[in-house]
Structure 1
């Protein structure tokens, strides 16, 4: 919706390489042009480089924090410096789908930076911490005039009544959220330890998944799939050596590790 609202041929969006695949797809669908900033270390957003990529035709900057598929974050000092550099006519999209999982005290909650001047929009979802991915429901927070324009371009009934009921129930289920956070924290600790044991390099993550270097992402994905374990190959994101592995329940994590060890042994 944001791309259709703010982009057209001759106008562009700025986003980081190795970021969420929907940013380039939405930009292309709206006829916009792409300005892709390099990462700072191969995995993390470089907000200084992204600010430098903005030109007179830039209308949107997409920022995933944590980033999908790397799980990396940018921190408060970088974010504040970025806000000072972005022109007031550029829409800053803070895509915070995984923010509930972040434990870093320097993580910047973009909700704290909304005012009546800046074109800042925060995107969040019920797909992750609430476990309602199949409902396809999320929300945006922005200035009232921006929200009204989004209403003007969205299709009617784009969120079903069942999804709305599920979202309201999810917000009331604090026990589920607390349990999910604990299961995820325990799973992250376990998987980190097992990746080290298996000598598999991984990107330290602030979300509920890991980007793991397995040598040949497509080959390992195929081997695991035949064993009934689904991971995500990352060649489409520019990481042909990697797969993305989501944290599951304890028994799922243990089975993943066992099957991954077999797959890597067969590969080597």
Structure 2
């Protein structure tokens, strides 16, 4: 029987996020004993032992609803970041906060400015809300802030800046970003997505939190999914003017962040030694990959995150499939705006060495690893 119900017309312009096959299915399909997943930009070093210990203590309380205001976590973050609690909003991942910002502030026909190649959920959610995404091409993998300013019209409601940018890993220099924020009209929201903030080890990176006192239209997004290793629990947060936070509270689900996620985030903040260790191990892996890839003649964007966009000189799909034969899963650039590239998560040194070994074999035409 044919389905007669009709979805919203706007959904004809939207496609579902391409999740692809699971690692388990790929492993079974290809007859591989295991797969090293370097495609999803996860923290391969996991999460703090504090988190695991704390979660076991929460299991007797699963019959209760979570705190819809996430009061304990909000207070913890406020102290950690030295901000007032009313500037914080806790979300089901920063993805949810992006969606809620658009639900609260974007009317049908309004525009949102973003990079042409960046986190794809900006564009998707703007479209779903009936808005118009305005795409500005990157310049050498970086946001063209001048071009974004020129794209502002009377219909512009939000501007998204992903810093470091996914999928390129690049940052915009602090002087340029400072100048950019000052030039955006105060009725337009500037959303700085800093999902990879903790990985940045560069003096040219803007420390944005102090800017909240000066710019009421600034929103900063961060997450526990990356360096804190809690991607499976879906929890992130935004820093913003109290008025914006209150508007988001009007449109969010009542219990949007589950009890275990809140407890895990609190514990993760208590173990900054683990965070520092993850960043140091990531830096070690990044230096190794940069050196090896340079010796092999590959180019790549200068990354300030836990992943690299590597230009392969041939279709990324081909390289991705060859690597998969050897038990390494990476993201082909064909889905990310760079068809002749792959995006690779920086991993443990053992996995990094194996990745380079496989890449060398592919380059030499041997393909498989003996």
Task: Decide: shared fold, TM above 0.5.
Answer: yes
Cα–Cα, structure 1 residues 116 and 82, in superposed 2: closer, same or farther, change >3 Å?
A: closer
CA contact (8 A) 1:116 1:143 kept: no
Q: Which of residues 161, 164, 170 in structure 2 aligns to 1:63?
A: 161
Find the counterpart in structure 1 of residue 184 from structure 2: 86
Q: Which of residues 96, 99, 104 in structure 2 aligns to 1:5?
A: 104
Q: Let me know the Cα RMSD of the aligned residues.
A: 1.4
- TM-superposition CA deviations, 1:11-46 (whole Å, max 9, x none): 0100011111111111111111011112223x1101
Say whether residues 1:202 and 2:306 are aligned partners: no
Find the counterpart in structure 2 of residue 177 from structure 1: 275
- TM-superposition CA deviations, 1:139-181 (whole Å, max 9, x none): 0010111001111111122211111111111111112111101
Q: Which of residues 28, 31, 38 in structure 1 aligns to 2:137?
A: 38
Compute the displacement of 1:198 (Å). 1.8
Distance 1:188 1:78 in 2: 26
Higher relative contact order (CA 8 A, sep 6+): 2
Find the counterpart in structure 1 of residue 223 from structure 2: 125
Find the counterpart in structure 1 of residue 209 from structure 2: 111
Say whether residues 1:256 and 2:360 are aligned partners: no
SS in 1 for 2:159: strand
Matches within 5 A, 1:215-234: 215-234=314-333
Say whether residues 1:136 and 2:223 are aligned partners: no
Find the counterpart in structure 1 of residue 197 from structure 2: 99
- TM-superposition CA deviations, 1:56-85 (whole Å, max 9, x none): 001010000000000110011111211121
Distance 1:210 1:167 in 2: 26
Distance 1:85 1:25 in 2: 26
Distance 2:153 2:250 in 1: 27
Say whether residues 1:236 and 2:339 are aligned partners: no
Find the counterpart in structure 2 of residue 75 from structure 1: 173
Cα–Cα, structure 1 residues 243 and 249, in superposed 2: closer, same or farther, change >3 Å?
A: same
Compute the displacement of 1:115 (Å). 2.0
SS in 2 for 1:207: coil
Q: Which of residues 15, 25, 29 in structure 1 aligns to 2:114?
A: 15
CA contact (8 A) 2:196 2:227 kept: yes
TM-score, scaled to structure 2: 0.70
- TM-superposition CA deviations, 1:109-139 (whole Å, max 9, x none): 2112112652111000001110111111000
SS in 2 for 1:114: helix
Find the counterpart in structure 2 of residue 146 from structure 1: 244
- Structure 2: gaps (5+ residues): 1-99
- Structure 1: gaps (5+ residues): none
Asked which structure has the greater CA Rg, the reply is 2
Could you tell which deviates more after superposition, 54-63 or 219-228? Answer: 219-228
Compute the displacement of 1:8 (Å). 2.6
Find the counterpart in structure 2 of residue 162 from structure 1: 260
Distance 2:162 2:128 in 1: 19
Find the counterpart in structure 1 of residue 68 from structure 2: none
